[in-house]
């Protein structure tokens, strides 16, 4: 069972238990011709508890957030490095991409630097041509990351056709003034503030390495 399905069952559980309890009390009352005073008091308590459970379940439906639904990204698992890179640069890029794939919700990584794609890793689509679009250029110009929390609602999503077509969320993180890391996730609103800080720290580390290794 998917995680979102499990959460839905948990949110419904008080309503189900409360409704079942109330129904059983009614059936018991119907088939009890001579009701004792103690039984009547017990029935009242049972009805109150059932109503409380149902109310709790209804409140949970309103205030308990649902976990983002994940999808299976369309593409094939791959790992591509620009052959002309130095061994130091290759090792650094491999290390950074591995950390991001294993410690965040990232499923696809593309690292673009000085008009070249240095790395592609994760779930990759058949279309591989990376052409910087408006959002990409804005990240470079303003030197600030952009997080598209739910990609499908952004008109600018068409520029990310080099990511799997059903990518749910995207972070564009600058690497100094010359590059950008593109991170794709398989669920919307899935990157936390801690993830964003982690990504920023790795980008700073890559900036230092690439400045030394790439002229």
- Judge if 101 and 200 occupy the same domain: yes
Residue 21 lies in a domain: yes
Section 142-151 average pLDDT: 92
- Judge if 32 and 82 occupy the same domain: no
Residue 68 lies in a domain: no
Residue 105 lies in a domain: yes
Between 13 and 141, the more confident residue is 141
DSSP per residue, the chain: --HHHHHHHHHHHHHHHHHHHHHHHHHHHHT-SS--HHHHHHHHHHHHHHHHHHHHHHHHHHHSPPPPPP---SSEEEEEE-TTS-HHHHHHHHHHHHHHHHHSSEEEEEEEETTEEEEEEEEE-S-------HHHHHHHHHT--EEESSGGG-GGGGGGTTS-TT--EEEEEEETTTEEEEEEESSTT---HHHHHHHHHHHHHHHHHHHHH--
Residue 203 lies in a domain: yes
Q: What is the pTM of this model?
A: 0.69
Predicted pLDDT at 47: 64
Predicted pLDDT at 71: 86
Residue 144 lies in a domain: yes
| pLDDT higher than threshold 70 for residue 86 | yes
Question: Which of these three, 63, 91, 115, is where a domain ends?
Answer: 63
- Judge if 46 and 98 occupy the same domain: no
Question: Which of these three, 63, 88, 106, is where a domain ends?
Answer: 63
The pLDDT confidence band at residue 113, using thresholds 50, 70 and 90, is: very high
Predicted pLDDT at 2: 44
- Judge if 188 and 97 occupy the same domain: yes
- Judge if 138 and 48 occupy the same domain: no
| pLDDT higher than threshold 80 for residue 178 | yes
| pLDDT higher than threshold 90 for residue 16 | no
- Judge if 153 and 200 occupy the same domain: yes
The CATH number of the domain holding residue 126 is 3.30.450.40
| pLDDT higher than threshold 90 for residue 6 | no
| pLDDT higher than threshold 60 for residue 111 | yes
Question: Which of these three, 63, 91, 108, is where a domain ends?
Answer: 63
Residue 165 lies in a domain: yes
Residue 71 lies in a domain: no
**Number of domains, the chain:** 2
- Judge if 114 and 37 occupy the same domain: no
- Judge if 59 and 80 occupy the same domain: no
Residue 179 lies in a domain: yes
Give the pLDDT confidence of 22-69 residue by residue, as tens digits.
676 676 666 666 655 666 666 666 667 767 666 766 666 665 555 557
- Judge if 51 and 116 occupy the same domain: no
| pLDDT higher than threshold 70 for residue 109 | yes
- Judge if 101 and 205 occupy the same domain: yes
- Judge if 126 and 186 occupy the same domain: yes
Predicted pLDDT at 3: 46
Predicted pLDDT at 157: 85
- Judge if 43 and 80 occupy the same domain: no
Domain that holds residue 19: 3-63
């Amino acid at each position: 069972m998917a995680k979102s399905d499990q959460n839905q069952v948990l949110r419904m559980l008080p309503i189900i238990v409360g409704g079942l309890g109330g129904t059983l009390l009614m059936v018991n009352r119907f088939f009890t011709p001579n009701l004792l005073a103690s039984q009547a008091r017990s029935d009242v308590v049972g009805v109150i508890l059932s109503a409380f459970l149902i109310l709790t379940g209804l409140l949970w439906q309103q205030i308990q957030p649902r976990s983002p639904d994940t999808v299976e990204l369309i593409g094939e698992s791959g790992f591509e490095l620009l052959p002309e890179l130095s061994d130091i640069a290759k090792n650094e890029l491999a290390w950074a991409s591995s950390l991001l794939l294993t410690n965040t919700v990232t499923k696809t990584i593309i690292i673009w630097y000085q008009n070249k794609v240095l790395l592609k890793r994760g779930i990759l689509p058949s279309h591989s041509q990376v052409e910087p679009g408006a959002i990409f250029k804005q990240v470079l110009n303003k030197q600030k990351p952009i997080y598209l929390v739910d990609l499908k609602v952004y008109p600018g999503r068409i520029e990310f056709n080099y990511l799997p077509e059903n990518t749910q969320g995207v972070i564009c993180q600058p690497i100094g003034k010359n590059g950008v890391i593109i991170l794709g996730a398989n669920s919307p609103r899935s990157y936390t503030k801690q993830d964003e800080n982690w990504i920023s720290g790795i980008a700073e580390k890559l900036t230092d390495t690439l400045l030394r290794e790439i002229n």
